[in-house]
Structure 1
């Protein structure tokens, strides 16, 4: 077995002082706030709705997920805060979803929450379902859908209908790619809820509970005059015996879940890329420094810099890190390490991007692709440097080469926003638009075109110049009010919960959980082929 002897990162000696203690308390407060929001996201409706659902002999969505997973399985919940604070949306999009082990196989599990408006899909539900599908395809994950849905939320029909059609197209494409989907129908599933099992590879229905039809009895009567009860129209027994939509008929929900577990076993599923020998055989070194000490290092105020190597030292095996070009372009940190035995390249920020930093990162991405090595981006970046001398030195060309490399890199990318993620720095550090396999944020992080002070200052300059050119006199009180409102809006829109609610990451995580989250994500990435490629495209030398 290959043994890597990368040097450990030395501990940063910081004397304990009031500033450090104050920052730690602020970080703890942010982590506690995150915990409260995640606890809120586990809610599944009003007590009245929950009681009515359980009285029918049905399990709650999260209980269904728990029974499906192996007893000792981790569960990486995805997009739990989708829809947070958005009018007309349910927290989590009325879907519980994540990755866990079913008979030892990593599966993407998605469950409708029927105690939220019958599991009806709103706009966020659709966006979340589409993102989950992308994760399943990119990482070649079998999917298990726990279905009980009233179809589209008709009050949002224009926002659900048009985009929602892709959910069924994606099921067909996954099937063609031999990425299978099992659909367990637990209750009434109408219209769009009916196409989900219709497009799945394998369908299990619960007797005397599951009902699947394009239109329920009221719609049938209105459209055709036919009077028919729901069970005769689309009950599980009918679909198992007559229509053939059901591949298995389960006596109850427990048996349906067992049948789905047996289905996974029948796949004889293998990863496209074998796990590294180090992962299989170990031993896996723990970091030299406790994860809890991240709260002493990472700054709650993103304006205050902190050393990314000290973050890396608390994430990687043995705190061992092989620095690449440490003396060149020093405000970007690049190098190799292991996380839970997986070899990774790491790109992190200690300041803004200059041409040297951009060139260094571009070369590093090429090396990782040549070695088939996944890349972890630890993003804390305010952007690329501006100014006459930097423009003359070719900052645009260097940045373009960097973004070209990120865009065309073939190895898996995982991004964690650990501070600021501003402007084109967000692009270069593989933000959402650059399709990382997974993307998470820390509760202190901010994401926007630039910070609210800078953006407001730019707007003020533009408005004053426009007034001067038009030979108008500005009302200073009115200008101040407009700028204050603008600054407040930017400050709100850069907030981590604002962006996570809109699916601009896959979840907000406690910094102390990052190493384990990354380890699971890396293992999931090996479900598909992990292979680099040459980075081609226009490159301005």
Structure 2
């Protein structure tokens, strides 16, 4: 196994441990799945495959460790520990690199425009000091050759907002303008699947140019790909699972549908825009010259189209409004 593959496996195992430790006491299939995954991944942990409570899983896990006759002073143990420390260091290095997004120049451009970086947005959204369980950091890693797509261009995970567990889907505009590669779509759909299975509200921090044009033929093909995102939004909304969108940048083409399909949408004045085709396309098609704000800015969508429900003065204001929206919904604590 390569060191990269080993780090990816380690990341997945760490995520399963975290999920097990944070889940509420229940006999859900999620908990059973984590227990079964741990059983497959570690020979000494022979957990039952049937659904078990978290309390029981923890007791079984700890008892197994207590009975494990491992001598940490042996040479074999020390060698294994050194190998694991090396993998952990590599994992931490990878995570730090991936978290920087699309590179130094792209980050500088975003900051120059007065934007928050994607993980700073999430930090502003979740409760202060609360953990954020990020999922699928390795998505897009070495997948498209010269096209670097750190984190798949999308940050997803589970966090607490106003004390409530929510699923968060946040475009990273520093990675190819937040456009959707095929792996971006898969990652987005996986987060929606988790939200539906666990009956959690979804918050979308939208800043996307839609489908990545050079790979558009691989993004749109069928009902289980890009269009499925909006189908899922409609279904989850009908099930009483709130869909909340914050428009924090330009939402063009496919990126425009997420805020349109949301139950409540917040848009930042002077920064957020929603339209299928931008000003250059309008001019090419009709000859009319119009700027982005006139075409699909906050004033248009809050006062005329009705697409957006709240107008924010800046990103921090938008994220505070999102927190306020969550405080008014019925959701699991």
Question: Could you tell me the TM-score, scaled by structure 2's length?
Answer: 0.77
Alignment-derived partner of residue 84 in structure 2: 27
CA contact 1:208–1:237 (8 Å) conserved in 2: no
1:222 aligns with 2:279: no
**Cα RMSD over matched residues?**
1.8
Alignment-derived partner of residue 266 in structure 2: 204
Alignment-derived partner of residue 28 in structure 2: none
Q: Which runs of 4+ in 1 moved over 4 A?
A: 3-7
CA contact 1:118–1:149 (8 Å) conserved in 2: yes
1:69 aligns with 2:126: yes
**Which among 173, 176, 182 is matched to residue 117 of structure 1?**
176
Considering fraction of residues, name the structure with more helix: 2
Matches of 1:137 and 1:189 in 2, distance apart?
Answer: 24
1:44 aligns with 2:101: yes
Alignment-derived partner of residue 291 in structure 1: none
Matches of 2:69 and 2:191 in 1, distance apart?
Answer: 42
Alignment-derived partner of residue 465 in structure 1: none
**Which among 279, 298, 318 is matched to residue 236 of structure 1?**
298
**Which among 5, 11, 14 is matched to residue 70 of structure 2?**
14
Alignment-derived partner of residue 329 in structure 2: 267
CA contact 1:69–1:102 (8 Å) conserved in 2: yes
Task: Write the deviation string for residues 374-403 of structure 1: whole angstroms up to 9, x where unpaired.
Answer: xxxxxxxxxxxxxxxxxxxxxxxxxxxxxx
- 1:89 deviation in Å? 5.0
Could you say if the C-alpha distance between residues 31 and 231 of structure 1 is closer, same or farther in structure 2, counting changes exceeding 3 Å? same
Q: Which has the higher contact order (CA 8 A, sep 6+)?
A: 1
Task: Write the deviation string for residues 191-233 of structure 1: whole angstroms up to 9, x where unpaired.
Answer: 0110110111110000011111011111122223332221111
Aligned residues: 269
Alignment-derived partner of residue 113 in structure 2: 56
**Which among 144, 149, 169 is matched to residue 208 of structure 2?**
149
CA contact 2:269–2:311 (8 Å) conserved in 1: yes
> Rg bigger for which structure?
1
Matches of 2:177 and 2:238 in 1, distance apart?
Answer: 31
Task: Tell me the SS of whatever aligns to 1:196.
Answer: helix
Matches of 2:312 and 2:95 in 1, distance apart?
Answer: 33
Specify every segment of 5 or more residues in structure 1 that has no aligned partner in the other structure, as ranges: 272-541
Matches of 1:264 and 1:150 in 2, distance apart?
Answer: 26
Alignment-derived partner of residue 227 in structure 2: 165
Matches of 1:99 and 1:13 in 2, distance apart?
Answer: 37
- 1:38 deviation in Å? 1.4
Task: Tell me the SS of whatever aligns to 1:161.
Answer: coil
Task: Tell me the SS of whatever aligns to 1:267.
Answer: coil
CA contact 1:130–1:166 (8 Å) conserved in 2: yes
Task: Write the deviation string for residues 29-53 of structure 1: whole angstroms up to 9, x where unpaired.
Answer: 1222211111122112222221221
Alignment-derived partner of residue 192 in structure 2: 133
**Which among 98, 102, 107 is matched to residue 157 of structure 2?**
98
Specify every segment of 5 or more residues in structure 2 that has no aligned partner in the other structure, as ranges: 1-54
Task: Write the deviation string for residues 158-181 of structure 1: whole angstroms up to 9, x where unpaired.
Answer: 111222111111111111111111
Matches of 1:78 and 1:270 in 2, distance apart?
Answer: 20
Alignment-derived partner of residue 355 in structure 1: none
